[in-house]
Structure 1
Amino acid sequence: MSGTRASLRLSMAGLRTHKRRFAGTFFAVLLGVAFLGGTLVMGDTLRSSFDAMFGRATGGTDAVVRGDDMITTPGESFGTRRSVPTRLADEIGRMPGVAAAEPRIEGPGQLLDEDGEPVGGGGPPTLAGNWIADKDLNSYQIAEGRAPERSGEAVVNRGAAKAGGLHIGDTTTVRTPDPLKVTIVGISTFGGEDAMGQTTFTALTRADAEKHLTAEPGRATSIQVRAGPGESQEELVKALTPALPEGIEAVTGQEVTEENQDQIAGQFLSGFTAGLLGFAGVAMLVATFSIYNTFAIVVAQRTRDNALLRAIGATRRQIVGQTLAEALVVAVVASLAGLAGALGIAAGLQALFPAVGFPFPDGDLVVSGLSLALPFATGVLVCLASALAPAIRAGRTAPLAALRETAVDGSGSSRVRALTGGLLIAAGAGLTVYGAVPGGDSADPSVTLTVAGAVVTLAAFVVLGPVASAYAVRILGAPLRRMNGRLARRNALRSPKRTAATATALMIGVAVVSLFTVFGASLKSTMDQTVSRAFAGDVAVRVPAFGPESGALSPKVAPAVAKLPEVEHALGLGTGVARVDGDGRALTVTDPERMGDVLDLGAVEGSLAGLGTTGVAVSQSEADDHGWQVGSTARFTFTDGEKQPFTVRAVYDQADLAGDYVLTREAWQPHRMQDSDSLVAVAFRDGVSEADGKAAVEGVAERYGNPEVQTRDEFAESSAAGVDMMLTLVYAMLALAVLIALLGIANTLTLAVHERTRELGLLRAVGQTRAQLRAMVRWESVLVAAFGTVGGLTLGAFLGWAMTKATDSSGDGVFTVPPVQLSIVALVGITAGALAAWRPSRRAARLDVLGAIATE
């Protein structure tokens, strides 16, 4: 019989005899593979569904005529193009080879629900546009009712209608941004779906769209063109191009479809899938420590067996092969089960996201070979890599070890380990700090260096774990004065390496949770400080939305509010885009001379008065980047193609709410697309209470689509709403990692109970009750969990500080440690440790005393 076959037979015999030993490893691998595979399958499914949806929606469009230059500002996925004259549609429609040409007019349009609240809240994009009569050119199709025919009629997409409780015949308001009363006459679908992702779309008549969604009638976002029989898309574009004015291009419908798929499906899904894969990676990392610990304990328990095998002639290679074969069998079976679980997770996510407000397109699950092969290979490799060190240790077992009792674990007092871990911590912490707070006035924080330092710091915690556990368990267990507590502390101290490995799995989960908790709290504190520092008004009128800007607000709100007797100042802040010295930048459009009444701009060099149509005010950071000072020239290119030099007439310090570039409304007026404000800042007269002033402003706001009127505190809280959503998703995703860590603790305790069967029997023989035995095992679990939780909180808080600093390019960020949230994390971690001991402690208490004493 060959050595390989002998190792395999021994492995299978060991697995059959000790199935419970590997239960924790099995479930750790299964969960990790299932989450990783479910993420990949979900990504493939969504990508396929989006592609199919866009293909159906735009399949009838053969060419699109649009502005040839798109300006994209930092933080935006979609850019802004110049508008095209609607008369082009008639001219193109008369050209040979053209079957139909229709203008598409589109802009911000917030639909209100049956209660007057925005449909979708401040999350999804909210659009309005004209209804295109040609069915092949219209991405939306009538599902119920009819198309709008008269002014004031509208069609809404089915997803928005469901979310807002709206039906055919209902009357509601659309903020365009001026409030427009509409009667719903039809319900539409996009490519057969209820919506284009989360987008809401309200379709108006062409006349209403030109009146409310454009700066002037006769302009359109683009022209949709359908080719005649036998005309290909490429031939159509080739024929259209010579007839188009300068600055306007024609592209094929297929090209536009691919752009949409890349922008909406590609960019969004890449980030979405990357985030889920990150959490899957954390889960697999946690599983690695749980698997390693299981095999380390199994190898320790089988020291005498392995020594006897060596004594009768087994080679080191056979012993190593036996352990790795066991790991391979567990890995393959668990990974296969994980792939089945992956399909369940993907199906569950597909059903879950629409239920919580993310209506992804419907579609059958798409399972690619890579989505199955990668998780399977990862599960097998992680399990084998985790078992490799214990397997090599088993192979080094000497034949004489059969005569020994239990080996002593001296890792807790290892000077080499302490020195190595200390050096790694110093290197990791130094690299992290240098990346987050680089030396030199001109140096910027480096996220890359910070992440590298974080990885080294995590490795240092792993290396130093056994040494740290020896001290931490003594300190954490000091209050346990009773016999059960003292025995639990000694059991945890008996094998520092095992305690550290078990706690490390939980530590990683807690560290990541703590990291995001600290980072989220710091973001919210930064936003609160920004509002407190930069907002000098009493209330803000805005349409909350995710992203760097608020939703569209009627520019008529500020003048109307300013007329109230309770109001001293009311200033509207509009938005625009331009290319400044070649780079896309967001513009703030307002009355610069009055900005100081409601905003704190800090020190101002030059004058905000008299910017006129040729002057611009810029932030100090932008001035420094471009080498500008008062009197310098900045070259602007607008979406309409116009190029204009602007003189820098003022430089201000604080750009928190003012933005980096400020123009007058007169300067922006020739280039505007749709008049709107993103914020109205209001300051009350002396003696006017906040409640009275707010009520008066709300009365005016109600006439303009009822945008929100927020106090300074409400403004700050609303600005940070996205952070709370991020944390909720993070906590939900990290629950899996914490679950795997707890399975690791439970598995370690179960194996430890088996290892100490005789010892536990002797304790029972000398008078220890079942309840005391259960308490001893529970306290041991709590000590291990407490060590992991405290280590995770410390590491997470440090990395949260580093992330806060590394992502704070302005240097104005606020680092905050939220004591309540972190206390809850600590309580959950320790409580979970107690729960993990429930089954092992019951099993220990049910041991037969005489049988346990007789155990070898």
Structure 2
Amino acid sequence: MTGPAFTGLIVKELWGHRRRLAGSLVAVFLGVAFLTGTLVLGDTMAKSIDRFFANAYAGTDVTVRNATTVTDMPGQLRGEIDGSAVDRVRAVAGVAVAEPVVQGSGQVLGVDGKIIESDGPRIAGNWITDPELNAYQIVEGRAPRTPDEVVINRATADRGKLKIGDRTVVLTPQRVPVTLVGITKFGEDDGFGDTSFTAFTLEGMRKHVIPGDDKVTAVTIRAASGVSQETLTERIRPVLPPGAEAVTGEELAAQDRERVDQFLGIFRTALAAFGGVALLVAAFSIHNTFAITVAQRTRESALLRVVGASRRQILTLVSAEAVAIGAIATVAGLAGGIGCAALLKLLFASFGMGLVAQGLVISLGTLLIAAPVGLVVTLLSALGPALRAAKVPPLAALREVAAERPGPSDSRIVIGSVLAAVAVGGIVWGALTESMTMAGAGAVMCLIVMVVLGPVVARPAAMIAGAPAARWRGVPGVLARDNATRSPRRTAGAATALMVGVGVVTLMTVFAGSLRASVEDGVAGSFHGALVVNAGSNERGGYNPRVADEVARLPQVENAAGLGQGAVRVGSDNADVRIADPARLGKVLALDVAAGSLATADTFAVSQDAADDHRWRVGSPVPVTFADGSKQTFTIGAIYRNDDVAGDYLMPRTAWSAHNRQALDRVTFIELKPGASAADAHKAIEALVKPYGTPEVQDRDAYIASQSEEMNAFLGIVYAMLALAIIIALLGIANTLALSVHERTRELGLLRAVGATRGQVRSMVRWESVIVALFGTAGGIGLGILLGWALTRALGNPFAAETLALSIIALVGALAGILAAIRPARRASRLAALTAIAAP
């Protein structure tokens, strides 16, 4: 066969089977679009963050700050330094402007008297008068002039419905009545990410937020003309007070960007994983489509061999079809990825994870990743069918050839059984030994087992899934079951795509449910009181610790203890600590003290896990470094087993307050007196906390449930993002049915000829689709439960499979089968009997 003739044949085959291959094209398009969308979204976030830091440090040449770090969290305020640093720096040659920076916690109340919510830090700071050093600009009103005037960023003002001239309150945590005189923007944005920023005058900060005039958070410096950042930094360092350091603006931006990039990297990896799942499901759909079309063209391939086509040309023919489909779908997918990225932004915003960006960023790297992936996935998916087509002998043109082998080979059964045993063994061993590596290896092998054993399991599974249809739907149900079992390879191929999607959804459901159960059981096991005052989900927020004292004085209350949160360095490691009066906390929480006692207010306590890791016991010294750079060695006074609420380190409030002038409580646990009315206590506490920004008063059950709210948001995002994989799987089932209907045209005509109605034909095709979907859904749920159990056990969490959620997944799977069959069933029912009988 000559080159031009062969090229013409490729075009003819593509055009002649365009409807059969349309499902593959759509599957590739959706997979590439989703992958492109996730990559674009990641690039957009990175660009947005770069812009934020560029604005933040655009005019800053050098910053003097505390040299101590106690946390890796981005945006965390450092400890203070001696205020003498300001005058020392101003006297250095080459310093044009040096301004003190005083910052702390400042939470603004909206018109409703409640704290204006934000997911980022809620900061109060002094207004920087030099416009080149200040990243914020006044866009409405004016800068503050007196200690009781403030300006706030636009996003905070809009959320709190505040306008120029309004009187409101800033909690520092004391109530500070203020007048709003200005609204700011951070560069071109309404805020620095989701940070709430309130600016006082320097006098106002030292009067209301950080009392005194001997400490500053930092000194921000602009160099004189001709003086480089590095040169000025070297000049400043010799004059700094102990514990302070000088950092160039470029270095400061790079450090903050690096911390944020660590969190962004995890997020981008998760997005790419979702894109990978969508492409994997698409690969199964493409493979099944090509496998069916190649099988249906067996005689055609044999005829081509008879007229002189070589095996290589047959292989090239099928591969060229795959490349053409992959190329068209990939180009369309790259374009569709832009819209997908925009939809993903809206999705994350709807779940409280708004992404600040002025536009989508499409990088060359995204194109270089997504385009080859789309082509390679399509080609690899079609490679197996192409190789089978190349092996068709010329004599096959002279006889009737079955489209597919009726059953799996013995070698497939043996190999698949061995692989299944190894996969299950790896998963179970990983779970029992808490080895994520072993459990992960077993999970990957499960995917191989699905492909190998799918045709082996398909026939008995379809018989079981089709039994209700055969019993209740009469002849159409029996025929649907028989059609599903007739070609186990085809049924398995269509179901596997759905199995992967459902399996991942089930895995995430089990994983999140287990984490939620772990959190809820831990909190429920620790707290047995009636009520809680909860600051909310923002870990950087809180309220005045006086709340616990005032609540404890109510006539209905037996005991009340507040719990705060902070960061220190324990030895050489950064660590989170809980802040409380240990004696009072021990009365409202069941901490299960293993050694020592929490009887005194100055007891430093650690969890059993922390003690085991460091080989500590009661009386062991623990060196602690605070954010201000000061160091203190504590002696362990108690070791407790229940750390779900108290964490690994429980620090006395007296010790914490000596190094932090703005202590905040995040939660207050309340135990009522015997016989006291919970409703009356709830009402009294709500009235009491109103001046403190109205933190939420919850009963015990509501508080326990609130601790897992983030899991619900996580699951919502997972379900929404994996919905695309399910849609691609449904396209695969629909495409398989459409190709099956085309193959059985003559059979369907005979059924109509012997009296089958159009409704019966539609019912037969629908039930066949439901059987395939139930097979894929049941397999996916089983696989997801197994992997979810292994993952949760490997992480040391309890296993919790939520029956309601899994039942909904199963129901959706059945409904998906009905939806996938709509078009093929309609087409099958509309076939004219005589025309169908005459079909080849």
TM bracket, shorter-chain basis: over 0.9
C-alpha distance in 1 between matches for 2:335 and 2:638? 63
Cα–Cα, structure 1 residues 479 and 406, in superposed 2: closer, same or farther, change >3 Å?
A: farther
Instruction: Tell me which residue corresponds to 1:441.
Output: none
Instruction: Tell me which residue corresponds to 1:233.
Output: 229
Quote how far apart the aligned CAs of 1:385 are.
0.0
Quote how far apart the aligned CAs of 1:607 are.
2.0
Match of 1:244 among 229, 240, 244: 240
Instruction: Tell me which residue corresponds to 2:823.
Output: 839
C-alpha distance in 1 between matches for 2:597 and 2:211? 30
C-alpha distance in 2 between matches for 1:126 and 1:412? 65
1:27 aligns with 2:26: yes
Match of 2:373 among 357, 375, 378: 378
Within a 5 Å distance, the mapping from 1:31-46 to structure 2 comes to 31-46=30-45
Q: Any idea what the Cα deviations from partners look like across 1:723-742, whole Å, max 9, x if unmatched?
A: 11111111111111111111
Instruction: Tell me which residue corresponds to 2:508.
Output: 516
Instruction: Tell me which residue corresponds to 2:694.
Output: 706
Moved more, 525-534 or 216-225: 216-225
Q: Any idea what the Cα deviations from partners look like across 1:633-667, whole Å, max 9, x if unmatched?
A: 22222223333322222111111112212222233
1:224 aligns with 2:214: no
Instruction: Tell me which residue corresponds to 1:442.
Output: none
Structure 2 letter corresponding to 1:603: V
Instruction: Tell me which residue corresponds to 2:652.
Output: 664
Structure 1 letter corresponding to 2:496: T
Instruction: Tell me which residue corresponds to 2:533.
Output: 541
Structure 1 letter corresponding to 2:10: S
C-alpha distance in 2 between matches for 1:328 and 1:376? 12
Moved more, 222-231 or 86-95: 86-95
C-alpha distance in 2 between matches for 1:352 and 1:470? 40
1:624 aligns with 2:612: yes
Cα–Cα, structure 1 residues 353 and 608, in superposed 2: closer, same or farther, change >3 Å?
A: closer
Quote how far apart the aligned CAs of 1:106 are.
2.4
Moved more, 595-604 or 755-764: 595-604
Match of 1:324 among 319, 327, 335: 319
Match of 1:827 among 811, 824, 827: 811
Quote how far apart the aligned CAs of 1:6 are.
4.5
Q: Any idea what the Cα deviations from partners look like across 1:466-493, whole Å, max 9, x if unmatched?
A: 1111111101111122100110111111
Quote how far apart the aligned CAs of 1:262 are.
2.7
Quote how far apart the aligned CAs of 1:744 are.
0.7
- In the alignment, is the contact (CA less than 8 A) between 2:120 and 2:540 conserved in 1? no
C-alpha distance in 2 between matches for 1:131 and 1:506? 57
Quote how far apart the aligned CAs of 1:365 are.
3.3
Quote how far apart the aligned CAs of 1:843 are.
0.9
- In the alignment, is the contact (CA less than 8 A) between 1:70 and 1:79 conserved in 2? no
- In the alignment, is the contact (CA less than 8 A) between 1:112 and 1:172 conserved in 2? yes
Instruction: Tell me which residue corresponds to 2:468.
Output: 479
- In the alignment, is the contact (CA less than 8 A) between 2:81 and 2:628 conserved in 1? no
- In the alignment, is the contact (CA less than 8 A) between 2:556 and 2:677 conserved in 1? no
- In the alignment, is the contact (CA less than 8 A) between 1:105 and 1:220 conserved in 2? yes
- SS of 1:477's equivalent in the other structure is helix
Quote how far apart the aligned CAs of 1:42 are.
2.4
- In the alignment, is the contact (CA less than 8 A) between 1:542 and 1:550 conserved in 2? no
> Which runs of 5 or more structure 1 residues have no equivalent in the other structure?
439-444
Instruction: Tell me which residue corresponds to 1:434.
Output: 429
1:561 aligns with 2:561: no
Structure 1 letter corresponding to 2:544: S
Cα–Cα, structure 1 residues 111 and 353, in superposed 2: closer, same or farther, change >3 Å?
A: farther
Match of 1:151 among 147, 150, 155: 147
Moved more, 415-424 or 755-764: 415-424
Quote how far apart the aligned CAs of 1:626 are.
0.8
Structure 2 letter corresponding to 1:108: S
Structure 2 letter corresponding to 1:291: I
- SS of 1:702's equivalent in the other structure is helix
1:98 aligns with 2:103: no
- In the alignment, is the contact (CA less than 8 A) between 1:421 and 1:464 conserved in 2? yes
Cα–Cα, structure 1 residues 463 and 109, in superposed 2: closer, same or farther, change >3 Å?
A: farther
Cα–Cα, structure 1 residues 664 and 350, in superposed 2: closer, same or farther, change >3 Å?
A: closer
Quote how far apart the aligned CAs of 1:183 are.
2.5
Within a 5 Å distance, the mapping from 1:385-534 to structure 2 comes to 385-407=380-402, 409-410=404-405, 412-438=407-433, 445-480=434-469, 481=471, 482-534=474-526
Quote how far apart the aligned CAs of 1:413 are.
4.8
Quote how far apart the aligned CAs of 1:232 are.
1.4
- In the alignment, is the contact (CA less than 8 A) between 1:56 and 1:192 conserved in 2? no
C-alpha distance in 2 between matches for 1:350 and 1:705? 31
Instruction: Tell me which residue corresponds to 2:113.
Output: 116
- In the alignment, is the contact (CA less than 8 A) between 2:121 and 2:541 conserved in 1? no
Cα–Cα, structure 1 residues 179 and 791, in superposed 2: closer, same or farther, change >3 Å?
A: farther
Match of 1:679 among 661, 667, 673: 667
1:173 aligns with 2:191: no
Cα–Cα, structure 1 residues 550 and 562, in superposed 2: closer, same or farther, change >3 Å?
A: farther
* TM-score, normalised via structure 1 length: 0.94
Structure 2 letter corresponding to 1:165: K
C-alpha distance in 2 between matches for 1:355 and 1:589? 34
C-alpha distance in 1 between matches for 2:233 and 2:761? 82
Structure 2 letter corresponding to 1:224: T
Structure 2 letter corresponding to 1:595: L
- In the alignment, is the contact (CA less than 8 A) between 1:63 and 1:252 conserved in 2? yes
C-alpha distance in 2 between matches for 1:60 and 1:550? 28
- In the alignment, is the contact (CA less than 8 A) between 2:526 and 2:589 conserved in 1? yes
Instruction: Tell me which residue corresponds to 2:79.
Output: 82
Quote how far apart the aligned CAs of 1:318 are.
1.0
- In the alignment, is the contact (CA less than 8 A) between 1:171 and 1:184 conserved in 2? yes
C-alpha distance in 2 between matches for 1:162 and 1:644? 44
1:363 aligns with 2:358: yes
Instruction: Tell me which residue corresponds to 1:582.
Output: 572
C-alpha distance in 2 between matches for 1:156 and 1:208? 14
Q: Identity of counterpart residues, as a percentage?
A: 49
Structure 2 letter corresponding to 1:227: A
Within a 5 Å distance, the mapping from 1:689-704 to structure 2 comes to 689-704=677-692
Moved more, 315-324 or 520-529: 520-529
1:598 aligns with 2:588: yes
Runs of 4+ in 1 over 6 A off after TM superposition: none
Instruction: Tell me which residue corresponds to 1:255.
Output: 251
Match of 1:163 among 159, 164, 172: 159
- SS of 2:384's equivalent in the other structure is helix
- In the alignment, is the contact (CA less than 8 A) between 2:233 and 2:248 conserved in 1? yes
Quote how far apart the aligned CAs of 1:523 are.
1.8
Match of 2:758 among 770, 777, 791: 770
- In the alignment, is the contact (CA less than 8 A) between 1:179 and 1:705 conserved in 2? no
Quote how far apart the aligned CAs of 1:543 are.
0.8
Cα–Cα, structure 1 residues 664 and 355, in superposed 2: closer, same or farther, change >3 Å?
A: closer
Quote how far apart the aligned CAs of 1:686 are.
0.9
1:639 aligns with 2:639: no
Instruction: Tell me which residue corresponds to 1:17.
Output: 16
Quote how far apart the aligned CAs of 1:349 are.
4.0
What is the RMSD of the two structures over their aligned residues, measured on CA atoms? Answer: 2.0
Cα–Cα, structure 1 residues 268 and 159, in superposed 2: closer, same or farther, change >3 Å?
A: farther
- In the alignment, is the contact (CA less than 8 A) between 2:582 and 2:599 conserved in 1? yes
C-alpha distance in 1 between matches for 2:115 and 2:805? 31
1:733 aligns with 2:730: no
Q: Any idea what the Cα deviations from partners look like across 1:66-87, whole Å, max 9, x if unmatched?
A: 11121126xx445563311234
C-alpha distance in 2 between matches for 1:726 and 1:633? 40
Within a 5 Å distance, the mapping from 1:739-750 to structure 2 comes to 739-750=727-738
- SS of 2:55's equivalent in the other structure is helix
C-alpha distance in 1 between matches for 2:564 and 2:580? 6
- In the alignment, is the contact (CA less than 8 A) between 1:296 and 1:390 conserved in 2? yes
Moved more, 285-294 or 234-243: 234-243
- In the alignment, is the contact (CA less than 8 A) between 1:522 and 1:804 conserved in 2? yes
C-alpha distance in 2 between matches for 1:415 and 1:174? 76
Q: Any idea what the Cα deviations from partners look like across 1:331-366, whole Å, max 9, x if unmatched?
A: 111111111112222344456655765553443433
Quote how far apart the aligned CAs of 1:447 are.
2.5
> Which runs of 5 or more structure 2 residues have no equivalent in the other structure?
none
Q: Any idea what the Cα deviations from partners look like across 1:390-438, whole Å, max 9, x if unmatched?
A: 0000111112222332427556454432332222222222222222220
Cα–Cα, structure 1 residues 388 and 132, in superposed 2: closer, same or farther, change >3 Å?
A: same
* TM-score, normalised via structure 2 length: 0.96
C-alpha distance in 2 between matches for 1:178 and 1:435? 52
> Size of the alignment, in residue pairs?
837
- SS of 2:467's equivalent in the other structure is coil
